[in-house]
Chain A
Amino acid sequence: MTDALLTISGLTKAYPGVKANDEVSFDIAPGEVHALLGENGAGKSTLVKMIYGLVKPDSGQMTLRGKPYTPYEPRAARAAGVAMVFQHFSLFDALSVSENIALGMETPPPMRDLARRIREVSETYGLPLDPHRAVGNLSAGERQRVEIVRCLLQEPRLLIMDEPTSVLTPQEVDILFTTLRKLTAEGVAILYISHKLEEIRALCDRATILRHGRNVGTCVPAETSARDMAQIMVGASFAAPAKARHDAHGQVILDVSGLSVASPSPFGTALKTIHLTVARGEILGIGGVAGNGQDELLAALSGELRTAPGAIRFKGQAIGQLSPTQRRRLGLLAAPEERLGHAAAPNLSLTENALLTGAQRRGLLTRGFIRWPETRAFAQKIIDRFDVRTPGPDTAARALSGGNLQKFVIGREVLQDPEVLIVNQPTWGVDAAAAAAIRQALLDLAAGGAAILCISQDLDELMEISDRFGALNEGRLSDIRPTADLSLDQIGLMMGGAHGMEVAHV
């Protein structure tokens, strides 16, 4: 590599309780597509935000074209030639393409000139775009082009792209790649964030891999297999997975077969013919990089997302059409990932939040009227049993720390004696002690005969508690294997999206 365009050395950024970036160093050369790879929470977005001037590093230096580079705000970063295309667009539906682009400029030229320049740029880089169309009528791919053209008009030297292909069709991906190659041919460097390993192998010259905020390796993707990259991403930090606790399992209680469902969110991932079973007394771990269908799987199982009736069976009964309330009555409970706003209502008290899922199974209602004393007692029981640190059940949920609220949310489901419990990221953002307590609660619940499906991005966690393991990749579920037999190699394969390498393994 010749002179680097951007050099990053020893960048560190700590948030309360977590080091988002720990002494990260790498460099990007002009005309290079550099991939930034890592699991969710590995620190990719913090790093990028520092480069784009949204976050100030605690320590470390950046040099851009040989000069010290300390952007104090995005405008300074743009002035220095750094542009960014965000994963979520900030466009106004009612305005036209050129109006939207003018809004993002410091000194917009007259509309007619701007429209002409948009045409020029979009033609030069093969991004067909009509400046006069309303953004509301554009597809996701076209909207992304608006964002890219907006960046290109600033003639950037470094273009940061945050998971650009997550909203694109395969054809649009091809167009995007052609554009990016044209840009690099002109010497523009691209910092490319993605989870999709094959994509990175096809496009990127080099890749920097982050894990737990650290740079754990740089590789040349074209010469590295997807499996190896996944392995570096995941880390060799877990040694031999803990032995499965049971060899023989009980009766299968949750049976999912051929579950396909579209995502309710425009940025979501559709589930594609998922098959899985969970038996009494076992924990099935579902791994995979975030955004590959985890939220949708939880929603389909909890009842927030209705599916074909027979796709989900509980003790043989088709429940795909049942509401969350009806599923709870049967004994299928769930705890979603997002604590505030999904699993719990931030402004309501813990008592009221206990009612949120506990109403039916805990008998907190008489003819529709709420039995507040019993509800409060239930909340108090959760607080006591799960060691939730809070002044009391009348405290608002949002006043609790993440770990304490998570203990409350998990405790609320566990104390309802579920027959099947679905959890998504049960220990996400939770301190070690609370995480251990939550895992133990799940293990105890399984030992008591419940079937547990644990979706998590923490592989260590899944290796520790689950009996069998599968991974989600772009809405598909890999084959499910006993955890005890898994090697790091195989996990990397399962997560990297190599499906059916070994068929019919049951």
Chain B
Amino acid sequence: MKLQLEKRPQPSRRWIYLSPLLAVVITMLVGGALFAALGKNPVEAIATIFWEPLFGEFAFYYRPQLLVKGAPLILIAIGLSLGFRAGIWNIGAEGQYIIGALSGAGVALAFYPLDAWFVFPLMALAGALGGWAWGMIPAVLKLRFGTNEILVSLMLVYVAEQLLAAMALGPMKNPDGMGFPGSRNLQDYPAAHNADLITGSGLHWGVVAALVAVIAAYILLGRHMLGYQIRLSGEAPRAARFAGVKPGLLTLFCLGTSGALAGLAGMFEVSGPAGQVSIDFNVGYGFTAIIVAFLGRLHPVGIALAGLLMALTYIGGEIAQGNLGLPAAAIQMFQGMLLFFLLAVDVLTNYRLRLLRRPEAA
């Protein structure tokens, strides 16, 4: 007996949709086994992660958290997916997210305590521009010197983290903070606060921006020539050049857009849920968004769903840590498994599995 992969004549439509679901199921099974090996009840652990946040006793608290955590993931992942589709790999969204937050917060702190309507829009603009500029660094270096955007964008994350720490300890430190690191809390500055639009719903401007990004990306990829060129470049770079696509411009566009969206996400976070510029402001949304982008099949609607699913495992994971005493590393591993199995199952969209009985006499 021998298992063999056989290439499908064209990608299976069914498996494009089924494979993420199958990956989630396998992750649950293997994750359950992992939790069991740690001495926890696997069914309870899985239920805590997936059920508790939505329908448990404290769901009224967790459900808004789903939006709060999901929005930045979706916003960043949408941007990343454009580049990934074109074969342009921005791995540094975390850095662009930080710079966006610093730029947004910088504007707010500069205007403090002025109470004017334009402060928040200006912050959003600054956040987007900051992320865009940080994303343009790998883009320009790639075009000018042929550097690898994966490495440059990733390394810029660590530069951004240093910058964040320097800001939290230096120029942006709260003058009334009694020497503690961290900026003023923007939640206490109404003109700059990214508050819930409906109190207690978790629905802040970042959620609106994520929704707009999903719709815009859907239209761009499905209906616009630029989106077609992005897809064509990823599918067949030579055909793209033949069609007249300018690879350099596409690199600038993709890295710039993903940087701007990550910057926006950072700005919405710092002015809302996080509230202040602090040393530990970034919690890895920029990296998790890579998983979200692939989990969502680089499709805008898929990314929206994947972002919510990922947020769910975050929140559920925290509950499981609190209630069941699961180690944080086990939760991270669980999330990693999701991407791992997704990529593994992905092969089924282009290949079918064949069980052969001794095909050749050997």
A399 touches B10 (CB 8 A): yes
Does B6 sit within 8 A of A, measured CB to CB? no
Does B239 sit within 8 A of A, measured CB to CB? yes
**Contact partners of A157 in chain B: CB under 8 A:** none
Stretch in A346-354, A376-384, A425-433 touching the partner: A346-354
A396 touches B243 (CB 8 A): no
Q: How large is the interface on A (under 10, 10 to 19, 20 to 34, 35 or more residues)?
A: 20 to 34
Stretch in A225-233, A320-328, A435-443 touching the partner: A320-328
B243 touches A357 (CB 8 A): yes
**Contact partners of A338 in chain B: CB under 8 A:** 238
B226 to chain A: closest residue by CB: A368
A368 touches B224 (CB 8 A): yes
User: Which of B9, B228, B240: most chain A CB closer than 10 A?
Assistant: B228
* Residue in A324, A341, A372 whose CB lies within 8 Å of B243: A324
B243 touches A356 (CB 8 A): yes
Closest chain-A Cβ to B274's Cβ sits at a distance in Å of 38
B223 touches A399 (CB 8 A): no
A370 touches B235 (CB 8 A): no
Q: Which chain A residues (351-371) contact chain B, with CB distance < 8 Å?
A: 352, 355-357, 359, 365, 368-370
CA distance A352 to B10 in the complex (A): 14
**Contact partners of A285 in chain B: CB under 8 A:** none
B235 touches A348 (CB 8 A): yes
B243 touches A370 (CB 8 A): no
Does A395 sit within 8 A of B, measured CB to CB? yes
Tell me the dominant secondary structure on chain A's binding face: mixed
Q: Quick one: given A304-B241, A396-B9, are A323 and B246 in contact (CB under 8 Å)?
A: yes
B residues contacting the other copy or chain, number (CB 8 A) = 20
CA distance A370 to B232 in the complex (A): 14
Q: Quick one: given A348-B231, A398-B10, are A341 and B224 in contact (CB under 8 Å)?
A: no
* Residue in B231, B235, B238, B244 whose CB lies within 8 Å of A303: B244
Does A343 sit within 8 A of B, measured CB to CB? yes
**Contact partners of A325 in chain B: CB under 8 A:** 243-244
* Residue in A336, A352, A369, A395 whose CB lies within 8 Å of B223: A369
Does B3 sit within 8 A of A, measured CB to CB? no
**Contact partners of A336 in chain B: CB under 8 A:** 242
**Contact partners of A346 in chain B: CB under 8 A:** 235-236
**Contact partners of B10 in chain A: CB under 8 A:** 347, 395-396, 398-399
Q: Which chain B residues (1-54) contact chain A, with CB distance < 8 Å?
A: 9-11
| 5 pairs of residues in contact across A and B, judged by CB atoms under 8 Å | A342-B239, A356-B239, A356-B243, A365-B225, A398-B9
- A residues neighboring B (CB under 8 Å): 302-304, 323-326, 328, 334, 336, 338, 340-348, 352, 355-357, 359, 365, 368-370, 372, 395-396, 398-399
- B residues neighboring A (CB under 8 Å): 9-11, 223-226, 228, 231-232, 235-236, 238-244, 246
Excluding A341-B238, A347-B11, A348-B232, 19 further A-B contacts by CB distance (< 8 Å) are: A303-B244, A328-B244, A334-B242, A341-B236, A342-B238, A345-B236, A346-B235, A346-B236, A348-B236, A352-B228, A352-B231, A356-B239, A359-B225, A368-B224, A368-B226, A369-B223, A369-B224, A370-B225, A396-B9
